Amino acid sequence: MQNLAGWLRSDDAPLDDPMARAAAKLVLRRFYRAIVQRDMAALSDTLTEDAIYEFPLSETGSSDPADCRRYIGRDAVVAFWQATSAIDMLFAAPEDVTCSILADGSRLFLEQRGNITLPSGFAYRNRYIFRYDFRDGQIALVREYLNPVISAIAFGRPLPVEQLTR
């Protein structure tokens, strides 16, 4: 990984690969369909064996990577979604969706406003930015950026009130 100044001075650009971009979008559609349909076998098929799913922004307020929720390996990612699916959320179409994909199809960014209703009737309307990295026709990395305060309130996770009031 190079530093920001070096990256900004470089002229490196990924080669254009329309087929790889189409393949990345296809696997992402399959990924979302599997989540909505709660089909863990189909979800597993979209992930590399060493897939990582992480939430870099933590409810603790810490920016230390050790404090973020992180699921490593296909089985751990599927187990996370299995547990999340048990909450029985109602997914409606996301809003304000924008998508950017690298020319070579290796990485895709998706920004959206979620439109989820929890079993309690709570309208969970968080803002998201997702980073998806693809390898060999599967998802290798997901970074899900969201407002952790809204998430903690919706799912009953504690907020670091003492740290926030200092």
| 149: CATH | 3.10.450.50
Residue 7's pLDDT is: 64
Q: Is residue 10 part of a domain?
A: no
Question: Higher-confidence residue: 155 or 133?
Answer: 133
Give the CA distances from residue 78 to residues 13, 22, 134, 154, in Å, rounded to whole numbers and listed in that order: 33, 24, 17, 22
70-90 residue pLDDT tens? 999 999 999 999 999 888 888
Number of domains composing the chain: 1
Q: For residue 43, what are the domain limits? A: 15-164
Residue-level pLDDT at 91 = 83
DSSP E strand boundaries for the chain: 47-55, 69-72, 90-91, 95-101, 107-113, 116-117, 123-124, 127-135, 138-146
Separation between Cα atoms, residue 27 and residue 46, nearest integer Å? 6
Count of other CB atoms within 10 angstroms of residue 30: 17
Picking from 35, 34, 41, 30, the residue whose alpha carbon sits closest to that of residue 138 is: 30
The string of pLDDT tens digits covering residues 9-68 is 777 777 888 999 999 999 999 999 999 899 999 999 999 999 999 999 988 887 788 888
Within a domain: 153 = yes
139 is written with which tokens?
């998802």
To the nearest whole percent, how much of the chain has pLDDT over 70?
A: 94
3 in any annotated domain: no
